[in-house]
Amino acid sequence: MTGSLLAQLQTPEARRAVGEAVRSLLERWALHETRQAELLGVADMSDITRTGLLPNEAAVLERAGHLLAIDRALKRLHADQSVADWWVRSPCEAFGGFSPLTVMLGGVEGIERVRTYLEAQLKAAE
C-alpha cells in the first residue's frame, strides 16, 4: 500500500480540496450523510458539508486518503464509472460475500482492507 497524504494536508486549502473530492465521491456512491460520517470517522457531516473543509485530525485525513486511493484504483480497474460505483455496493467473494462498502463501514481497518485488495488487483493486472 502506498504512503499517506497526511503531511500534505496541513493547510485549510488542502483539507478543503480533499474534503470536496471525498464528498463528491461519497455522493457518487449515493451514501446518506450518516454513512458518509461513518466512513470518515466523524460524528456528523454538517461542518464538512457547510465548509467543505475536513477537520485537521489525522484519523479523518487518513480515512479520506484511503477512500480517494480506493476511487483511483477503481477508476483504473473499471473504465466505466458506473461499474466501479456498482462494485462498491455489490457482494464480493473476496470479502466473504459482503460488499466492499460493508467492509469499509467496519472502520479504518476495513477501508484499508478494501484498498489493499484493489491495489493487489491492479498489480495482478499489470
Q: Is residue 98 part of a domain?
A: yes
Identify the helix (H) or strand (E) that includes residue 32: none
Instruction: Flag whether pLDDT at 1 surpasses 90.
Output: no
Whole-number Å distance between alpha carbons of 74 and 84: 6
Instruction: Flag whether pLDDT at 99 surpasses 90.
Output: yes
Instruction: Flag whether pLDDT at 11 surpasses 90.
Output: no
* Structural domains in the chain (count): 1
Per-residue exposure over 57-87, b if at least 16 CB sit within 10 Å of its own CB, e if not:
eeebbbbbbbbbbbbebbeeeeeeeeebbeb
Instruction: Flag whether pLDDT at 8 surpasses 80.
Output: no
3-state secondary structure of 30: coil
- This prediction's pTM: 0.91
Identify the helix (H) or strand (E) that includes residue 54: none
Q: Is residue 108 part of a domain?
A: yes
Cα dihedral 114→4→107→13 (10° resolution): -120
Residue 97 — φ and ψ, nearest 5°?
Answer: 90, -5
| Half-sphere exposure at residue 95, Cβ-oriented, CA atoms within 13 angstroms | 24
Whole-number Å distance between alpha carbons of 104 and 107: 6
Q: Is residue 91 part of a domain?
A: yes
More confident residue, 5 or 75: 75
Identify the helix (H) or strand (E) that includes residue 27: helix 12-28
Q: Is residue 85 part of a domain?
A: yes
pLDDT value for 108: 97
Print the domain residue range for 109.
7-125
Q: Is residue 1 part of a domain?
A: no
pLDDT value for 10: 75
Q: Is residue 57 part of a domain?
A: yes
More confident residue, 48 or 5: 48
Q: Is residue 74 part of a domain?
A: yes
- Per-residue pLDDT reduced to its tens digit, 43-68: 999 999 999 899 999 999 999 999 99
Q: Is residue 13 part of a domain?
A: yes
